[in-house]
Amino acid sequence: MQGALALLESESSRVFTQTRYDEFRRKELIFRVPRQPEEPLRDYVTDTGLAEPPSWLQSNSSPVDEVLARAAQQTASALRLTKKLLERIVELKRLGAEEELPWSKSSEDDFWDFVSLWPGLSEPGLILLDNGNLRAVWRNNSGEQVALEFKGDRKVLYVIFSRRRDENEVARRVGEASFEQIVELIELESLGELLRGEG
Amino acid sequence: MAKGDLIPHDNHVLRHVGKSKVEQDGRVNGAAFMLRSCEEGLSVQWRQAAGDGSVADQLQAILRVLSARRKVRKTDYLVELPVGQTRARVLESARQLTLEVELRFEHHPIEQDEFGPEDPFHSEIRGIPELEEGVAMALGDIIAECVSSQYSVNAI
């Protein structure tokens, strides 16, 4: 948009009207790409021919910019989490070798699959069990937790401590579930925010 | 005290835990308190049985005996549980799992044998029922919530 305005302002008139705009569109446009930063423009269009400029033009960033910025932020945060978890997995492999514990590749694969299911996931506490499986735990300050042992074959052993609204006591749930079932249960217990580090 | 005697409520026991059971922020995971098959009770060390000296002296005495009987790595931890508080907390919280768990902290000193010298501090947390894996893990998580202190072997 700024490029077009710049071209318009180099015409003889400084007034941008619908007629001049149509005339301008008929011409062949050649955009010059500067090799180095240019001096800021000193002359501006003073009349767009519209009573009020569109709202998106008034804001500093367009809705598209905001969506792109959010997507970039999410990607950066997912990359940061992946890096942290990779470092932890490497550490657990080393500790497991030192403590002569087995390592379950299918548990690790399931862990990564689960992580990819949750955009905006926060970093869980991650430990290695004596049977070689990984166990991940998300907690908050209210005593709630979602702890998942990844058993392979997209199955988890869960230990969930949740606090219902208007209830002081913590409800404790234990069981085995498929990925689909545990995702449903976490949402049902309103613990999705806990996994995202917001609860 | 005789073998099997109960440890006083205001005393503490220490559980030897590998670093693989300690989360990134230093918190001990409930998996550290899972009963292994063929174990009658969770193996722990009775801190106050190591004399009336400072905690540091008690820890050193316990670590000396423990290292003589089993492999202890510098990255490992000794994790402390207060006897009375742990009993009460587990009794209350396990009811939410529809379990009646009355833990008993018993003194079970070990005499010199083929594994090493005597261990006068050795004790066991008994009263943990045989449970399905998931419920046992949940009980471990409840016990882990009672941890009052933890000591890095490297710093003892």
User: pLDDT tens-digit profile of B4-35?
Assistant: 899 999 999 999 999 999 999 999 999 999 98
Candidate from B20, B25, B138 with C-beta closest to A159: B138
Looking at residue A4, its pLDDT comes to: 45
Interface check B54 vs A, CB under 8 A? no
Contact B141, A145 (CB under 8 A): yes
Looking at residue A49, its pLDDT comes to: 64
Low-confidence ranges of chain B (pLDDT < 50): none
Q: Do B73 and A99 touch (CB under 8 A)?
A: yes
Amino acid at B116: G
The average pLDDT across A115-128 equals 92
Residue A2 pLDDT grade (very low, low, confident, very high; cuts 50, 70, 90): very low
The three-state secondary structure class of B150 is strand
Looking at residue A158, its pLDDT comes to: 96
The three-state secondary structure class of A20 is helix
Q: Which of B16, B23, B33, B37 to mutate to test the interface with A (most CBs of A within 10 A)?
A: B23
Q: How far is A172 from chain B (nearest CA, A)?
A: 6
Looking at residue A12, its pLDDT comes to: 46
pTM (two decimals) = 0.78
Q: Residue B138's closest CA among B88, B81, B98, B85?
A: B98
The residues on A that touch B, with CB distances below 8 Å, are: 88, 92, 95-96, 98-99, 101, 123, 125-130, 135, 137, 145, 147, 149, 157-159, 161, 169-172, 174-176
- Counts of helices then strands in chain A (DSSP H, E): 7, 5
Q: Do A147 and B30 touch (CB under 8 A)?
A: yes
Higher pLDDT among residues A199 and A190, named by residue: A190
Q: Which domain holds residue B123?
A: 12-155
Highest-confidence segment of A26-30, A108-112, B114-118: A108-112
Q: Does this complex have an ipTM over 0.85?
A: yes
Count the domains in chain B: 1
% of chain B beyond a pLDDT of 70: 99
- Is B3 inside a domain boundary? no
